[in-house]
Amino acid sequence: MCSIMSYCGSVADYDLFLKGFENTVSRGPDDSRIVDTGNGLLAYHRLAIMELSPRGMQPFKLGSSYVICNGEVYGFQRIKEELSANYTFETDSDCEVLLPMYMEYGTDMFAMLDAEFACVIYDGETGGFIAARDPIGIRPLYYGYDKNGVIVFASEPKNLVGLVEEIRPFPPGHFYKDGTFTCYCDIADVPAVCHDDLETVCKNIHDKLIAGVEKRMVSDAKVGFLLSGGLDSSLVCAIAARDSKEPIKTFAIGMSEDAIDLKYAKQVAGYIGSDHHEVIFTKEQVLDSLEGLIRMLGTFDITTIRASMGMYHVCKAVHETTDIRVLLTGEISDELFGYKYTDFAPDAEAFQKESQKRVRELHMYDVLRADRCIADNSLEARVPFGDLDFVKYVMSVDPELKLNRYGKGKYLLRHAFEEGDYLPEEILWREKAAFSDAVGHSMVDYLKEYAEEVYKDGEWEKLCEKYTHARPFTKESLLYREIFEKYYPGQSGMIKDFWMPNREWEGCDVDDPSARVLSNYGDSGK
């Protein structure tokens, strides 16, 4: 996944910078380098994915300019061809194209990229620093200002603790230059609604998702797949299995007591012919790993922490038992096609606004979870449902078509793959289950029980009162917040609030983020 960090001034406390940088070596265990530009520092931990030789090590240099990038640039071969008349490329790395692009197009380059990325460019001509992040925020980037007023960029908050006063997420779809953040792409914005008919919409969803999966299978390192047995990850795996010359490797996880998803994942694996692996985790592992998990995540959010438990442990198993370096996942489908709670949307306009909100906040919740769980285990995440062409199209589709008026959520996605025998009917039309519940209902129950043991009745409410931002409202949420504050004191502003259903909608005024508490959950968790 790689880790980047940059101090954009000439008065850096090198030892303090190095201490922060070393906190994310797991993101890039293959090699590390810090370059002093004369006007600031650029640092890079490498996880070798493309161009596995040492030539792929960053920063890349062109003239007096440098770039560091945590990312994948899709279609970089075409970009190389377009620029080859004026530039000589020395590696097969996708990120080598970034500096030539900057020389040719300046900051206009960011809107041209089909990529999951976070990068910092040092412009040797001006002595300035430019930073940018992909439109969804799939690759992490944070910033803050030190005591000298110098801006510092880093892949994770833990790089910046003690170095800057206030840590903030770098806004997705923006670039920074000359002290200003500029939006180059609001991925959730819809300039014009697409009024394609149902069948045309589904045909486009089908084709664009396949393209998104296929481009993410291009890697010099070995690729694997997370498979929950739910619709989203199952579709990604099914498409990949057809595109692969040999059986793909799939991984599923569940609690030792009541794993719901494992049976469905096994069914999908058998159907698509994958080389399938199951990981079982226990109550003891859940509780023993909780504090470390929250430190790793850098969040207090309830649903993010719950859902990270299973994801972290399956990624840990992949790292420890295989030579896989890249994992494809099923994130971002829910934000586009709907959660269980969006069945309660009062009208199409409300559905669209909620979808836009969720997409814009992805980097604080589901995307954050996937990044940390995968990267902390020295793996790279790739997210086909986050393909820019796919997201832009689905967001533009008339929301009247996306409302659940079909008796089944995510109907457009299901119908798009109804033909072609991609999945068993039972899986294609399976009700959506919350991931944190589907690894086993017992997991969430264990966490709640533990919180009950930590706090006595009558005491915890007072402890909640000291928090003004995102105040905890249950013993479980207080437990997470206190652990978070231990490692990120006073930095709760990194996360907007607790992820919750839209409580303003009828049927959604609940006190727990799990879809399990909704009246329409039905057979989802069976």
Catalytic residues: 2
Q: What is the DSSP secondary-structure string of 281-337?
A: E-HHHHHHHHHHHHHHHT---HHHHHHHHHHHHHHHHHHHH----EEE--TTHHHHH
How many residues appear in the chain? 526
Rounded (5°) CA angle 444-137-23: 70
Nearest to 80 by CA among 104, 111, 116: 104
State the angle between helix axes of 475-487 and 283-297 in degrees (0 to 180), rounded to the nearest 10.
Answer: 50
CA distance 494 to 170: 10
Report the b/e string of 442-454 with b at 16+ CB within 10 A: bbbebbeebbeee
Continuous H helices in 181-282: 198-215, 231-243, 261-272
Which pair of tokens denotes residue 2? 């790689």
Amino acid at 58: Q
Which pair of tokens denotes residue 488? 């990120």
User: Is 495 within 8 Å of 300 (Cβ atoms)?
Assistant: yes
Report the b/e string of 488-525 with b at 16+ CB within 10 A: beebbebbbebbbbbeebeebebebbbbbebeebeebb
Measure CA 421 to chain center.
29
Helix (H) / strand (E) containing 35: strand 31-36
Those residues with Cβ within 8 angstroms of residue 85's Cβ, 6 or more apart along the chain or in another chain? none
Which pair of tokens denotes residue 4? 């980047």
User: Is 381 within 8 Å of 369 (Cβ atoms)?
Assistant: no
Q: Give SS3 for 489.
A: coil
Q: Give SS3 for 440.
A: coil
CA distance 220 to 523: 41
The number of beta carbons lying within 10 Å of the beta carbon of residue 51 is 17
Which pair of tokens denotes residue 286? 């859940």
Give the residue carrying structure tokens 């992040």. 133
Q: What is the DSSP secondary-structure string of 225-237?
A: EE--SSHHHHHHH
